[in-house]
């Protein structure tokens, strides 16, 4: 895959972006490892906060390359390569954050944001600087530097402020609402399907969809690596050996199916129909992909714990089933179809049943729980895929067709 415009539309993910993602996934893997070393829900919540900090760091480079990046331009490649250095340092320091020593981690993230600030003030020929984004990252840089020298919990407050203002300046769209007009559901949808007034705000739907899809693949790789590592530690004549191989890989395959056979295409089509509206991109990708991405880490950590000998952690099964429920919600597996009350009740019951699969560990050994969850995930994929494909067919080829189906009610 190389950069450039395809005949069917859209920029492709660049090679340097793939290299950056490999470095970044190492950092994310350290977050998952932090859950495994201390399998409690308090640690899972801490991991979520750490993951969100890393997530918005990655989003910054994804949006930068989507709007301006080109593998043929040396400065663009150098900015991404420069970002890998502080990201790698942050990865090596992630476990120190769990131990209460986040200073070096914070300084590394400040370095990443400094690179992004400079990149947005270094336009290519014919482009304009994006001063608002550059100044935003400059402020984030200062906040992360300051956080390295203040005690907890104030340092986390500074991180939160940095992330909130990044979420505000990076993907803001134009509001097409008239003054005093009440924001009905249809009006909000129309705002998100209105192309941005300034062309440099638009996002390339093909590139963004591929970039996030590849990142989801890399996160699924954490689960595959976990399964492979567990297999290597078991004798081949152990029944648990084959349960681990089959159950773990089937679970990973079902998770892949739920996202890539319909959800990814729906997201790309919606963003394309909107003309690259940044507000819709935030809803679908920057914010929308955060829950399922973290869910994959939680599932991988749970599977890892489930396969530990001699006795797995009591939280292991709950991490797997809760992670699967979050993944289903995040990928909107149950969000398509009729909007009737009994359908919504059925979806809620399915999600509750998904979480409650953790009780299976009272009657089955840990590898057996993984198999049960994998079978359940296959059933969910089989149940939701036809509905989602019909939703994709009904989406149409123009925003007008889609918007005509929206009820214009309060």
pLDDT at residue 4 greater than cutoff 50 = no
Is the model's pLDDT at 49 over the cut of 70?
yes
In degrees and rounded to multiples of 5, residue 192 shows phi and psi of: -75, -20
Summarize the confidence of residues 205-218 as an average pLDDT. Answer: 91
pTM (2 d.p.) = 0.87
Per-residue pLDDT tens for 82-94?
A: 999 999 999 999 8
Where do we find the tokens 């990928």? 331
Measured CA to CA, the distance from residue 174 to residue 347 in angstroms comes to 34
Q: CA nearest 83: which of 103, 107, 108?
A: 108
What is the percentage of the chain residues whose pLDDT exceeds 90?
A: 38
Residues 6 or more apart in contact with residue 184 via CB below 8 angstroms:
408, 409, 410
Structure tokens at 267: 């997201």
Report how far residue 174's alpha carbon sits from residue 62's, in angstroms, rounded to the nearest whole number. 21
What pLDDT is attached to residue 183?
58
| Structure confidence at residue 153 (pLDDT) | 85
Dump pLDDT digits (tens) for 136-153: 999 999 999 999 999 888
Q: For tokens 């994998």, name the residue.
A: 374
Highest mean pLDDT among 211-215, 223-227, 344-348, 383-387: 211-215
pLDDT single digits (tens) 108-124: 999 999 999 998 887 65
What single DSSP character describes residue 72?
T
Residue 155 has pLDDT above 70, yes or no: yes
β-bridge partners, 11: 5
Question: Helix (H, G, I), strand (E, B), or coil: what is residue 62?
Answer: helix
Residues with Cβ within 8 Å of residue 160, at least 6 apart in sequence:
none
Residue 398 pLDDT more than 70?
no
State the Cα angle at 106 between 25 and 53, rounded to 5°: 50
Q: For the residues of 119-186, what is the DSSP string, one character each?
A: HTTSPPTT----HHHHHHHHHHHHHHHHHTTS-TTHHHHHHHHHHHHHHHHHT-----PPTT----HH
Residue 95 clears pLDDT 70, i.e. is over it: yes
Centroid of chain to Cα 140: 21
Whether the pLDDT of residue 179 is over 70: the answer is: no
Average of pLDDT values for 227-248? Answer: 74
Rg (CA), the chain: 22
pLDDT at 240: 67
The rounded distance, in Å, linking the Cα atoms of 136 and 223 is 35
E strand residue ranges, 1-99: none
Q: In this structure, how many other beta carbons lie within 10 angstroms of the beta carbon of residue 298?
A: 24
């Amino acid at each position: 895959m190389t950069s450039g415009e395809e005949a069917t539309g859209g920029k492709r993910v660049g090679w340097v972006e793939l290299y950056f993602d490999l470095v970044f996934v190492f950092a994310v893997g350290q977050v998952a490892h932090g859950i495994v070393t201390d399998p409690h829900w308090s640690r899972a919540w801490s991991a979520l906060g750490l993951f969100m900090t890393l997530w918005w760091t990655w989003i910054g480079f994804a949006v930068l390359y989507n709007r301006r990046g080109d593998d043929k331009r040396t400065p663009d490649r150098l900015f991404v390569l420069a970002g890998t250095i502080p990201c790698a340092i942050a990865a090596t320091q992630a476990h120190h954050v769990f131990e209460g020593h986040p200073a070096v981690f914070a300084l590394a993230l400040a370095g990443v944001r400094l690179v992004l600030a400079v990149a947005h003030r270094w336009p290519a020929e014919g482009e304009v600087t994006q001063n608002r984004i550059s100044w935003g990252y400059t402020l984030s840089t200062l906040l992360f530097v300051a956080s390295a020298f203040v005690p907890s919990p104030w340092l986390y407050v500074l991180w939160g402020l940095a992330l909130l203002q990044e979420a505000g300046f990076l993907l803001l769209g134009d509001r097409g609402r008239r003054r005093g007009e009440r924001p009905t559901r249809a009006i909000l949808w129309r705002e998100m399907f209105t192309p941005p007034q300034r062309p440099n705000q638009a996002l390339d739907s093909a590139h963004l969809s591929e970039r996030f899809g590849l990142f989801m693949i890399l996160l699924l790789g954490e689960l595959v690596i976990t399964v492979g590592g567990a297999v290597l530690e078991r004798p081949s004549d152990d029944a648990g050996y084959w349960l681990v191989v089959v159950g773990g890989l089937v679970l990973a395959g079902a998770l892949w199916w739920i996202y890539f056979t319909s959800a990814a295409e729906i997201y790309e089509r919606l963003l394309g129909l909107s003309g690259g509206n940044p507000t819709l991109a935030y809803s679908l990708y920057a914010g929308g992909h955060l829950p399922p991405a973290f869910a994959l880490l939680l599932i991988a950590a749970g599977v890892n714990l489930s396969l530990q000998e001699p006795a797995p952690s009591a939280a292991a099964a709950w991490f797997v089933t809760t992670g699967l429920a979050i993944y289903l919600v995040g990928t909107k597996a149950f969000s398509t179809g009729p909007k009737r009350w009994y359908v919504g009740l059925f979806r809620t019951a399915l999600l509750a049943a998904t979480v409650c699969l953790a009780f299976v560990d009272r009657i089955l050994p840990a590898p057996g729980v993984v198999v049960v969850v994998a079978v359940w995930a296959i059933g969910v994929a089989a149940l939701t895929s036809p509905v989602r494909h019909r939703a994709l067919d009904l989406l149409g080829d123009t925003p007008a067709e889609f918007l005509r189906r929206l009820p214009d009610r309060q």
